[in-house]
Amino acid sequence: MNIIGLISFAVVGSFKALREGLDLFGITVLGIMTALGGGITRDLLVNHIPNALKSFTDFSFALFGVWLAVVFYRIFKRDISNRFFILIPDAIGLSAFTTTGALIAHDAGVSFFGIVILATLTGIGGGMISDILLGKIPNVLKDDFYASCAIIGAVGFYVTVSSGFGINTASVVCASLVLMIRIMAILYNWKLPRFS
Amino acid sequence: MNIIGLISFAVVGSFKALREGLDLFGITVLGIMTALGGGITRDLLVNHIPNALKSFTDFSFALFGVWLAVVFYRIFKRDISNRFFILIPDAIGLSAFTTTGALIAHDAGVSFFGIVILATLTGIGGGMISDILLGKIPNVLKDDFYASCAIIGAVGFYVTVSSGFGINTASVVCASLVLMIRIMAILYNWKLPRFS
Amino acid sequence: MNIIGLISFAVVGSFKALREGLDLFGITVLGIMTALGGGITRDLLVNHIPNALKSFTDFSFALFGVWLAVVFYRIFKRDISNRFFILIPDAIGLSAFTTTGALIAHDAGVSFFGIVILATLTGIGGGMISDILLGKIPNVLKDDFYASCAIIGAVGFYVTVSSGFGINTASVVCASLVLMIRIMAILYNWKLPRFS
């Protein structure tokens, strides 16, 4: 699930860069940061050297996603980042990343809010960073029902652990909640309220 | 003073998000980051796990500020973030945050410049992050006499400590300087020079 | 070389701020962040308290660069950040910063990709941060042959170390590669491919 997430996040990020006309370095940075940025930020916050800098594989999967996006774009000249066959692996990635974030936050001994923030940030941080790099308001802040899925999953993780279950059970609860709610949000086009 | 700061910073940040038409998640993120972002960045720089992730109370006060702003906005349909009764608690927050930053920087054993940077960043970092999230040039960089109050307070802290006084005295000097100068800057509409 | 880099990066950053009409605080922040931001981000990622906060000299050189830019701008009313006599010291800075980044990354025991990221980030991070603070897409992501020089230098560093040479040799290889390639990129106006 993590690998699917890395690749699909990198594909989505690379397409963002392609849409904006960035050069090859920009496309690579956007793709990689979308895939790895959430985890890197989370590792910084819990005072670890980011795993993405130590592991060879995470980075390779992200680069593979960048390559996939560029090749696809050159052949078909078409942006597919909003299509169903990207949204589903993206939802799997959100689910995997949120769960990893909740586990690492739990190990770091942070508060309830700390777990929710770190889990959500692991899931959505990469996309936010790539939007900021493009000088845009991060899309998760204004639209869609995306971060909310991660928040609900993280709360589920916390409640399960607090109820005396092990972290394996809590991880399954978190991952399932995020994935199911995200897929429902896609199918039914859920939105959060705005006030203006 | 710290609690007043957390709440008023969160109110100001939430109003920024409301003005931009962000959704409920965006409003919450902007409010919380304005209140906690400066302290989180400072903790990262001195290699601590951010206190905001470990403490339950800071986050709760920030959420309360978000709630206040949303309720106020729904009832009165009016942005009050530039009114006097927000500017004063905001100045109290700037003063409290700058002082906390100076104390933590002093403990971390950084240089004179390090103390000034970390103290100022604790005071203004949250507002800068929320402006960046909205794709804007942080307001403190182009306008107003806001960061300068924090810098003067931090210099006051350093001079007091270097003169052989204790850190309690230095904290009082720092907090009073920031608060007094900020209030004078509001009353007399002070600005820094521009060159263009 | 490092000192030349700090001063010329600060000059370039201050001119960016002057062009946008920021006030004195904004100009100072942009200049300092352009000079020190890459190193600070790298230190965060390898879990050190940033050297720029502990050292007095780095900060002083950056401030000197800010002062130079402001004085020059006031006297000549002209932006010189794209002229040859700025581009060359800027290239020297890129070379010095990339090499420092590669050395620190090597000490931190990160992977091949980790070395390339940290070395490149040390070289280009400050400029990226200052572009983000101005609400712009970082220039290195869309234009020019700038980050690529740092990447090639970092790869040279890794290959030299992996071939059994010492880190001193590797540093010389890295610094020379970055400087030579960057100067050729300036002279021949190299660009990376775009796909749109």
B129-164 pLDDT per residue, tens: 999 999 999 999 987 889 999 999 999 999 999 999
The partner residue sitting opposite C25, judged by closest CB among B109, B136, B192, is B192
Average pLDDT value for residue range C146-160: 95
Task: State which residue of chain B sits closest to C14, comparing Cα positions.
Answer: B195
Q: How many angstroms away from the CA of B26 is the closest CA of chain A?
A: 4
- Segment among A47-51, C20-24, C116-120, C140-144 with least mean pLDDT: C140-144
Residue with tokens 């620190």: C104
End-to-end CA distance of chain B: 38
pLDDT (tens digit per residue) in A103-123: 999 999 899 999 999 999 999
Provide the pLDDT confidence category of residue A81 given band limits of 50, 70 and 90.
low
Residue A60 one-letter amino acid? S
ipTM of the modeled complex? 0.85
pLDDT at C190: 85
**What is the Rg, in whole angstroms, of the alpha carbon atoms belonging to chain C?**
16
Length of chain A: 196
Q: Inter-chain contact B59–A192, Cβ cutoff 8 Å?
A: no
Terminal-residue alpha carbon distance, chain A: 38
Task: Check pLDDT > 70 for residue A72.
Answer: yes
Q: Chain A partners of B23 at a C-beta cutoff of 8 Å?
A: 141-143, 191-194
Mutate to test the interface with C, among A19, A53, A73, A77 (most CBs of C within 10 A): A53
Q: Which tokens belong to A76? A: 């078909």
Beta pairing partners, B194: C23
Mean pLDDT score, A8-33: 92
User: How far is Cα C29 from Cα C38, in angstroms, rounded to an integer?
Assistant: 14
Closest CB from B29, B59, B70 relative to A141: B29
Percent of chain C residues topping a pLDDT of 90: 73
Is the distance from CB of A20 to CB of C137 less than 8 angstroms?
yes
Contact between C139 and C56 under an 8 Å Cβ cutoff? The reply is no
Only one residue has tokens 């007399």, namely B188
pLDDT of residue B196: 65
CB burial of B50-66 (b: ≥16 within 10 Å; e: otherwise) equals bebbbbeebbebbbbbb
Mean pLDDT value across residues A58-78? 89
Task: Tell me whether residues A111 and B59 touch, CB distance under 8 A.
Answer: yes
Cα–Cα distance measured from residue B120 to residue B97, given in angstroms and rounded to the nearest whole number: 8
What does the mean pLDDT of chain A come to?
Answer: 91
| Average pLDDT in chain C | 91
Residue A73 is encoded by which pair of tokens? 């774009």
* Preferred mutation among C41, C49, C110, C113 to probe A, highest tally of A CBs within 10 A: C113
- Segment A21-49 shows an average pLDDT of 94
Beta-ladder partners of A194: B23
What is the distance between the alpha carbons of residues A46 and C131, in angstroms, rounded to a whole number? 27
CB B138 within 8 A of CB B41: no
pLDDT tier for residue C86 given thresholds of 50, 70 and 90: confident
- Judged on CB neighbours under 10 Å (0-12, 13-18, 19+), C43 is buried
How far does the CA of residue C59 sit from the closest CA of chain B (Å)? 7
Sign of CA dihedral B160, B43, C120, C10: negative
The span from the CA of C104 to the CA of C81, in Å, is 29
Which residues of chain B carry a pLDDT beneath 70?
Answer: 79-82, 196
Helices (H), chain C: 2-19, 24-45, 51-54, 57-76, 84-108, 112-133, 147-162, 167-188
For C139, residues 6+ apart whose C-beta sits below 8 A from its C-beta are C127, C131, C146
What torsion do the CA atoms of B123, B124, B130, B136 make, to the nearest 10 degrees? 180
